[in-house]
């Protein structure tokens, strides 16, 4: 597995990481603990050294599984987790909204360290921007955690360009996480130019469009009632019917390159910048190995131009998140 540098602060990770959120029932299907642990350790055996979790996934259960799975190889991996939602640290009750008060950040970090069974969090993200707390105060709280040795690097998730700049002025931001894929290219407008200027890495989540770009989903797909995609506008039957044109495009390129659509979607991301590290998630070993195969797929400048030209003629439909969730992003 190739390595990449996330930002200029010294964080080296595998070119493709593993998003662990899917192990916590967001896609309807649950996996048992033994299967989850096996998958995470197989990811490492296949070259993955970058694992992404959060207190909100579960809540809490995801961090515990990640910590237990990676304990034997702790010194060989980088673990990213997140704070920022308003969750009762004793009961795990979601109280709604966000909470990035400095005292809460520190309490969440302490709790995450215990659940993960580690002494230092490699990368600590603010999960969502808290409009009630100045980002300078947030960055200052993480800066103190870094000085105390409890955190190595600071990250932001779903933050706007000005928020990134303000935070970076207080504590250097190592990585920004947000959705980015052939299905959602909005970060190209402001976020990527800002990160390029400041020397910050980028970690795209949902790099396969929550599975859509892998070509395994169509208008006939039935999601389980607990699957978050049942609430996402771009997964409505009407939107998917229109958006299948993008899947067809990716599939055509995949056939020519003797790759899978998922590998083309990931290879496209890797080709955008050397400091981009996508974190596709899965619960299946076969899909994990397929995704990691994207590092061996080379897209030439001609390939990338062809994809851009063809995609510019496609009108994509449906927002990437429900309205209530969009309001919680800083974009």
- Return the active site residues: 57
Which residue do the tokens 């000005």 mark? 162
Which residue do the tokens 């590290």 mark? 277
> Rounded CA gap, 92 and 31, in Å?
20
> Rounded CA gap, 95 and 101, in Å?
15
> Rounded CA gap, 189 and 170, in Å?
24
Q: Which long-range contacts (CB under 8 A, 24 or more apart) does 226-231 make?
A: 226/25, 226/28, 227/26, 227/27, 227/28, 228/26, 228/27, 229/27, 231/322
Query: Could you tell me which residues are beta bridge partners of residue 123?
Result: 80, 153
Q: DSSP for 81-140?
A: EEE-EEE-TTT--EEEEE---HHHHHHHHHHHHHHHT-S-EEEEEESS--TTS-HHHHHH
Cβ atoms of 153 and 180 within 8 Å: the answer is no
CA–CA distance from 156 to each of 24, 34, 42, 150, 170 (Å)? Answer: 22, 31, 28, 17, 13
Cβ atoms of 184 and 320 within 8 Å: the answer is yes
> Rounded CA gap, 51 and 38, in Å?
14
Cβ atoms of 178 and 331 within 8 Å: the answer is yes
What value does the CA radius of gyration of the chain take, rounded to a whole number of Å?
19
């Amino acid at each position: 597995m190739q390595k990449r540098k996330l930002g200029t602060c010294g964080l080296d990770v595998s070119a493709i990481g593993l998003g662990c959120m899917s192990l916590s029932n967001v896609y309807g299907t649950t996996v048992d603990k033994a299967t989850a642990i096996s998958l995470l350790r197989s990811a490492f055996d296949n070259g993955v050294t970058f694992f992404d979790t959060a207190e909100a996934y579960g809540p809490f259960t995801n961090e515990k599984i990640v910590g237990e799975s990676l304990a034997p190889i702790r010194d060989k991996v980088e673990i990213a987790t997140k704070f920022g939602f308003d969750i009762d640290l004793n009961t795990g009750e979601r109280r709604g909204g966000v909470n990035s008060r400095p005292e809460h950040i520190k309490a969440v970090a302490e709790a995450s360290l215990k659940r993960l069974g580690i002494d230092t969090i490699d990368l600590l993200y603010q999960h969502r921007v808290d409009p009630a707390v100045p980002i300078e105060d947030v960055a200052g709280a993480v800066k103190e955690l870094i000085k105390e040795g409890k955190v190595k690097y600071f990250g932001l998730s779903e933050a706007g360009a000005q928020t990134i700049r303000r935070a970076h002025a207080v504590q250097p931001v190592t990585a920004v996480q947000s959705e980015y894929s052939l299905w959602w290219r909005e970060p190209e407008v402001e976020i990527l130019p800002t990160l390029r200027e400041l020397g910050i890495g980028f970690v795209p989540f949902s790099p396969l469009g929550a599975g859509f770009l892998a070509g395994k989903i169509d208008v006939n797909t039935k999601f389980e009632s607990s699957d978050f995609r049942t609430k996402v506008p771009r997964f409505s039957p009407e939107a998917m019917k229109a958006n299948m044109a993008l899947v067809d495009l990716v599939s055509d390129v995949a056939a020519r390159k003797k790759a899978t659509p998922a590998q083309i979607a990931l290879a496209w991301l890797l080709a955008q910048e050397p400091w981009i590290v996508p974190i596709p998630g899965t619960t299946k070993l076969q899909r994990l190995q397929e995704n990691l195969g994207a590092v061996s797929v080379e897209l030439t400048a001609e390939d990338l131009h062809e994809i851009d030209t063809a995609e510019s003629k496609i009108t994509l439909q449906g927002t990437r998140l429900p309205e209530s969730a969009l309001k919680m992003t800083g974009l």
